[in-house]
Every structure is written in structure tokens, then in C-alpha cells.
Chains A and B, each alone.
Chain A
Amino acid sequence: AQSVTQPDIHITVSEGASLELRCNYSYGATPYLFWYVQSPGQGLQLLLKYFSGDTLVQGIKGFEAEFKRSQSSFNLRKPSVHWSDAAEYFCAVGELGGGNKLTFGTGTQLKVEL
């Protein structure tokens, strides 16, 4: 069965510092991978997605992620964090075929210090 692990429950960074959020997945074939962001009490917004091709994908709000098959990872990065980036971030893996399931990690809460 597919699964996603986000090992960091909470991360605190200073505004202007770089950010990397970790995501590891378990999936038998080439995965479809996503990063979503959630503000308190709101739904989820897609930051970026990977289906195939270039392993470095660019998303909205200056985020990027790199797919590394050998490490089963899809880490999210941002060179310079803004205070408005404080939110919860979820990594997800999609299932191929008839299942159409999306499995999410447990999330990483990002706090930005001014």
C-alpha cells in the first residue's frame, strides 16, 4: 500500500532563511506526488505537483520540490521564507489505475519568526 512520511511535525525558521520540508513515500511504481498548503481552518491549496519528466518542479509562491527516486523523497524547498508562509504543509502521493486514491502525510507545521 502507498504511504507518505513527513518526519518533521513542527519546523521553525527565521524570515528570510531557507526552508526544506521533508517527504518520503512508499509506492510500487512511478508515483504522482503533490505538495499542498493549508492555512488554519481552511481547505488545502496545491503548491506543486510531479508526474514525470524533470525531477525539479517549480510551484507557486516561490516553492520548488525535487523528486529523487533513489531516496523515495520529494522534499519541498524555498530559498527565502516570508512570514506569510507560516501554515501547515502536506505531501501526498497519488495512486495510478482504478483506485484514484490520494494518500497524505501527517503534515509539517511551519512557524516563521520575524
Chain B
Amino acid sequence: DGGITQSPKYLFRKEGQNVTLSCEQNLNHDAMYWYRQDPGQGLRLIYYSQIVNDFQKGDIAEGYSVSREKKESFPLTVTSAQKNPTAFYLCASRDRVNTEAFFGQGTRLTVV
């Protein structure tokens, strides 16, 4: 079945450590997105990519980094520079501009 897979579902990180969240899609979509979700704040865009080897900062990119070496993969690294990384992270992909985004099941990151 086609879809978006995020892993792991739960992730714990010690303060000062970098951590990478995985996002893989087999929908052959060009665009991929990372959102952060906090209670009462909806979804905020971190980074997005329209094509391989290209990506743009979203609204809250500070403390995060991404890569897009393959069309199907868009990993997100939460660096130690992110001051408040505990959140629910959602990955999405989209075909062309006039279609909806498909979402993964999310990764809950907790800093301990």
C-alpha cells in the first residue's frame, strides 16, 4: 500500500543531543513537508522540499535541519540548538500544487 511512514513513533532524547526523525513515502510525490504540532498551536511548518536536493525554510526552521537526497526520503534532524524540541512531528507529502497533502502517523519527541 502507498503511504508515508514515519519512524520511530516515540523518541526520547537527552538535552544537548541531536536526533533524526525519519520520513519515507512511496507515493512518488514531489513535495514533502515537516510540521511541528503543539497543543493549541496547530501545525507549524518547519521545512519543505519541492524537488530532490532542494528545500526551503518554513516558519520555525531555527534549530532544525533537513536533507532531500532521494525523492522518497526527507529526514528531519532536531539539533541541540532547538530550545524546546518536545513536540509531535508530522511529515507530509504532496503531488502537485492543486492536490491535498498526505500525512504520516507522526513521531512524538520527548526531551528528558
- Among B11-19, B64-72, B74-82, B90-98, the one that faces the other chain is B90-98
- In whole Å, how far is A35's beta carbon from the nearest beta carbon of chain B? 10
A-B interface pairs (CB < 8 A), number: 62
Partner of B45, one of A32, A103, A107: A103
Which 8 A-B residue pairs are closest in the complex by CB-CB distance? Answer: A43-B103, A106-B42, A104-B43, A44-B103, A43-B105, A100-B31, A104-B42, A46-B100
Number of interface residues of A (CB under 8 A): 28
- Among B31, B42, B94, B104, which residue has the most Cβ atoms of chain A within 10 A? B42
Q: Tell me the nearest residue of chain A to B56, going by C-beta.
A: A99
Q: Tell me the nearest residue of chain B to A6, going by C-beta.
A: B42
Q: Is A83 an interface residue, CB under 8 A from the partner?
A: no
Provide the main secondary structure of the chain B interface: strand
- What's the Cα separation between A80 and B106 when bound, in Å? 30
Q: Tell me the nearest residue of chain A to B43, going by C-beta.
A: A104
1/0 per residue, CB under 8 A from A, across B47-64: the answer is 010100000001000000
